[in-house]
Amino acid sequence: MKPRSTLAAQAHRLAVTRASGSASAGLHAMVLNQIGLSIVQGELAPGDPLPNADDWSAAYGVSRTVLREVIKVLAGKGLIESRTKTGMRVRPRSNWNFLDPDVLAWRYSARVSEADVRELFELRRAIEPMAGALAAERATPDQIAQLEAVLVEMEGVADDGERFAEPDLVFHQMILRMTGNELIGSLAALIETALLMSFRLSNDNPHGHRHSMPLHRDVAGSISGRDATGARQALLALLDQAEEDVRRAIAARSRIQE
């Protein structure tokens, strides 16, 4: 028996996405997002047998070529496996590559729970203070100048919830890059996801982000002054504040929904 209603729902959602023309995406990217979201957000559970290639591509109104490429990409991120005769299946969560930028985005693009926030900040707390300390030791004068410039930019838009997001993101990612460690640099997607989520949650708050500027200044100051432990502590404090903000926003959200 085939899950016809689910397929129909997926096809419909695709039609909507396609019509809205959200991304500059081609068919491939669109279908990839659809299926990726379906899996990561739990609509398709681990172990679930997926429709066979023909039916599935038909349901999305795309060719097998496109679906197949999507399948392979998802398999490359650990979400799916495809074996002859058995068909395609969603792999257990322990095989998913949660640090993949796409998977992160799919997971945190909607309905985040308190547990999701906890996971995110647990990891950030392990990474960013350490990265700050390394940055303080290794950053080139040029990089430090750039960081200061971004800080100034943040000051300029600290009261504008919309425009603050970008320089804030650049600020945090720059610190990761300044470690000179490419593995750490690849965690930029993690920070991006966290900040996007945070800004999405707090966009009802019209009070801007000025309250976080002092701590950002501390971070930049410590790095400029080559103070590794200072940078570590400043980033810890910044993360404490950020997590507190997010938790408040979630609490407010759930209070509204009641």
Is 27 a binder of DNA (CB under 7 A)? yes
**Does 53 interact with DNA (rule: CB under 7 A)?**
yes
Q: Is 233 one of the binding residues for DNA (CB under 7 A)? A: no
Beta carbons of 46 and 90 less than 8 angstroms apart: yes
Q: Which does 203 bind (CB under 5 to 8 A by kind): its own copies, DNA, none?
A: none
Q: Which of 12, 16, 48, 65 binds DNA (CB under 7 A)?
A: 65
The tokens describing 158, both together, are: 């600290």
Could you give phi then psi for residue 63, rounded to 5 degrees? -80, 165
Residues 31 and 36: their CA atoms lie apart, in Å, by 8
Question: Using the rule CB under 7 A, is 20 a contact of DNA?
Answer: no
- Report the nearest approach of DNA to the CB of residue 47 (Å): 13
**From the list DNA, its own copies, none, which binds 27 (C-beta under 5 to 8 Å, kind-based)?**
DNA
Q: Show the tokens assigned to 91.
A: 């792999």
Residue from 54, 114, 160, 204 touching DNA (CB under 7 A): that is: 54
254 and 112 in contact (C-beta within 8 Å)? no
Where do contacts with its own copies occur on this chain (CB under 8 A)?
28, 65, 68-69, 72-73, 75-78, 93-94, 96-102, 118-120, 122-123, 125-127, 130, 134, 177, 179, 181-187, 189-190
**Sign of torsion over alpha carbons 203, 258, 39, 95:** positive
Cα–Cα distances (Å) from 180 to 38, 51, 139, 140, 190, in that order, read: 36, 45, 8, 10, 17
List the Cα angle 206/122/149 in 5-degree steps: 50
Q: Does 203 bind DNA (CB under 7 A)?
A: no
* Residue 28 or 253 with smaller CB distance to DNA: 28
Secondary structure of residue 33 in the 3-state scheme: helix
Q: Is 101 in the site for DNA (CB under 7 A)?
A: no
Cβ neighbours for 97, distance < 8 A, ≥ 6 positions apart:
77, 78, 103
Task: Name the residue nearer to DNA (CB basis): 71 or 147.
Answer: 71
CB nearer to its own copies: give 185 or 208.
185
Size of the site for DNA (CB under 7 A): 23
Note the residues at the interface with DNA (CB under 7 A).
Answer: 26-28, 50, 52-54, 61-66, 68-69, 71, 82-88
